[in-house]
Amino acid sequence: MSDDYKPVLRAGSDPLVFFKYPGADSEGEVARGHIMAAVMSHALRDGDVVVMGANSLIPLAAARLAQLTHAPNLTILAGASGGVNTLVEPLAPSSGDYANLIAEAVLDFPEVLMLQMGGRTDVFFAGGLQIDKQGNCNLAFTGNVSGQVTLRGPGSAGLPWAMRSGRAIVYVTSHTRKTFVEAVDFVSLPGATAEWEQGSWGGPEMVVTPLCVMDLTKQGEMRLVSLHPGVTLEDVLENTGFDLALPEEAAPITALPSPEELRILRELDPDALLVAVV
């Protein structure tokens, strides 16, 4: 969203009339946000119960896209709003937006946490200030051993419980050496734990960035899966602060969204937030 975009407060409205964002050019380029949403969508399965937290623009688009294509029985728990199966009309930047209440049900937020921590979800979307080779994510703070905090993040929020929420899909909107580090300064979300390796807990299944798609090997090391169009292996390695494992053969190019997927993503997103977000 551009900085000179000036929304006004929304007037009182009935539940089926929502805040309108200014329209964007739906004939424009395929953006990184579109590619990331489509990749995440493909990782979702029919019947999955998918939960997301704050700042979940791309995951929300991905989950709704999956619902409208290959996963009609997927359930979306739209973060702070408590909305269940929001129609995502339109895609809104804040997880607690009223737009997410064009939905089938609205849970109290403690109930969302309960379902997540109680193991009633299949997929959890997560991010972090730092992500390391083992898939650990840090949303608390960075700092050195003497206790000096160099960057105070928001806090660990719901990340500690990702392993109870099924497959974690980790995503970031910037791929740099500051984000992808050898070892996080603080573990908010445990990555490749022993329990994950044994298959008894969930854990990071996929990592999606503006440059590429990664996963974890069985040994719990982050590995390149595919490069987004126009991105080279060098781009990724230069911007990754640890030795990234590589696939046995040359990494393929991440598939673009199909024309139908792109049409749906643009329809859900009249303000082209997916273009602006990355």
Partner 1 sequence: MAENRTTKALDIETAVSTLVPDVTESLWVGGMHMHNVPMALVRECIRQGKRFKTLYAAPSASLAADLLIGAGLVDHVVCGYIGFEHLGLAPAFRRAAEEDASIQITEADSGSLVLALQAGAWGQPFAVLPPGIEQTSLVKQSPSFYRQVEDPFNGTARFVVEAVRPTLALIHCQQADQFGNGIFKGSRFADRFLGLAADRVIMQVEGLVDNGQVLKYPLQTGLPGFRAAAVVQVNFGCHPTSSHRYYNYDDVHLRLYLQAAATEEGFRSYLDEYVLQPVDQEDYMRRVQNQDWGAITGEVP
The residues in 134-193 that bind partner 1, with binding defined as CB under 8 A, are: 140-141, 149-161, 163-164, 186-190, 193
Shortest distance, CB of residue 41 to partner 1, whole angstroms? Answer: 13
Near partner 1 in 183-242, by CB under 8 A: 186-190, 193, 195, 201
Taking CB under 8 A as the binding criterion, the range among 22-30, 73-81, 205-213, 230-238 that sits at the site for partner 1 is 73-81
Shortest distance, CB of residue 219 to partner 1, whole angstroms? Answer: 17
Report d(CA 127, CA 59) in Å as an integer. 11
Instruction: Compute CA 55 distance to the chain's CA centroid, rounded to the nearest angstrom.
Output: 8
Other residues' Cβ atoms within 10 Å of the Cβ of residue 248? 4
Asked if 49 interacts with partner 1 (CB under 8 A), we say yes
**Minimal CA–CA distance to 205: which of 50, 85, 35?**
50
Closer residue to partner 1 in complex, CB, 84/262: 84
Shortest distance, CB of residue 136 to partner 1, whole angstroms? Answer: 9
Q: In this structure, what are the phi and psi dihedrals at residue 180, rounded to the nearest 5 degrees?
A: -95, 100
Instruction: From residue 89, give the alpha-carbon distance in Å to each of 85, 113, 202, 253, 263.
Output: 11, 24, 31, 31, 14
Check: CB of residue 213 under 8 Å from CB of residue 254.
Answer: yes
Taking CB under 8 A as the binding criterion, the range among 97-105, 207-215, 233-241, 255-263 that sits at the site for partner 1 is 97-105
Alpha-helix runs per DSSP H in 10-56: 32-42
Taking CB under 8 A as the binding criterion, the range among 30-38, 75-83, 230-238, 248-256 that sits at the site for partner 1 is 75-83
Shortest distance, CB of residue 240 to partner 1, whole angstroms? Answer: 22
Alpha-helix runs per DSSP H in 118-202: 194-197
Site size toward partner 1, by CB under 8 A: 80
Shortest distance, CB of residue 254 to partner 1, whole angstroms? Answer: 24
- Collapsing DSSP to helix, strand or coil, 171 comes out as strand
Among 22, 26, 28, 105, binds partner 1 (CB under 8 A): 105
Query: How large is the angle between the packed helices 32-42 and 259-268, nearest 10 degrees?
Result: 110
Check: CB of residue 133 under 8 Å from CB of residue 183.
Answer: yes
Shortest distance, CB of residue 107 to partner 1, whole angstroms? Answer: 7
Shortest distance, CB of residue 239 to partner 1, whole angstroms? Answer: 21
Shortest distance, CB of residue 19 to partner 1, whole angstroms? Answer: 5
Taking CB under 8 A as the binding criterion, the range among 37-45, 106-114, 210-218, 244-252 that sits at the site for partner 1 is 106-114
One-letter amino acid at 69 equals T
One-letter amino acid at 139 equals L
List CB contacts of 198: < 8 A, sequence separation 6 or more: none
Among 35, 38, 63, 87, binds partner 1 (CB under 8 A): 87
Closer residue to partner 1 in complex, CB, 85/176: 85
Among 38, 44, 62, 84, binds partner 1 (CB under 8 A): 84
DSSP letter, residue 12:
P
